[in-house]
Amino acid sequence: MTTDEIKQWITKACKHYGCSDAIAKLHFKQYVFEHWNPHPSAKFWKWCNMHPDYRSMRSSGTSEREAKVKMWNCECYNAQYREAKELGVLDEVPRSMQTTEARAERDQTAIDFNQRETDNGRSPF
């Protein structure tokens, strides 16, 4: 996107979402100069609802909008979203992200792999 296209996009997005003039001015500054997008897509918004980290943020008191905007602007969540979108599984949450037990199992698998590599005289790193 060119600079002009970027400026047009955020202006249009703020108008669409009904941002006040003061908020639209802040969003313009965030988007154009700080590379912070205050308006996650509707599909990302829906995908977030299933993400365990989002649920964790909400249960710790973070507002819905704040949690989703933070996730939208965090590369690790954006990468997970893009991958799910590319694979056509936006409505599914990978097993490795669903529960604490699944995360622990994933972590143990990595530990086991690293131990096997070390036992075989190879560095896992």
Residue 124 has a pLDDT of 44
Q: Is residue 80 part of a domain?
A: no
pLDDT tens figures, 20-32: 999 999 999 999 9
Q: Alpha-carbon distance 11 to 65, whole Å?
A: 19
Domain that holds residue 34: 1-38
Q: Is residue 3 part of a domain?
A: yes
CB 7 within 8 A of CB 44: no
Residue 108 has a pLDDT of 60
Q: Is residue 17 part of a domain?
A: yes
Please count the structural domains in the chain: 1
pTM over 0.85: no
Q: Is residue 106 part of a domain?
A: no
The sign of the torsion formed by the CA atoms of 47, 53, 58, 59 equals positive
Q: Is residue 9 part of a domain?
A: yes
Q: Is residue 20 part of a domain?
A: yes
Q: Is residue 24 part of a domain?
A: yes
Residues shown for the chain? 125
Q: Alpha-carbon distance 14 to 24, whole Å?
A: 6
pLDDT tens figures, 38-97: 998 889 988 988 888 888 889 889 999 899 999 998 988 988 899 988 988 887 766 555
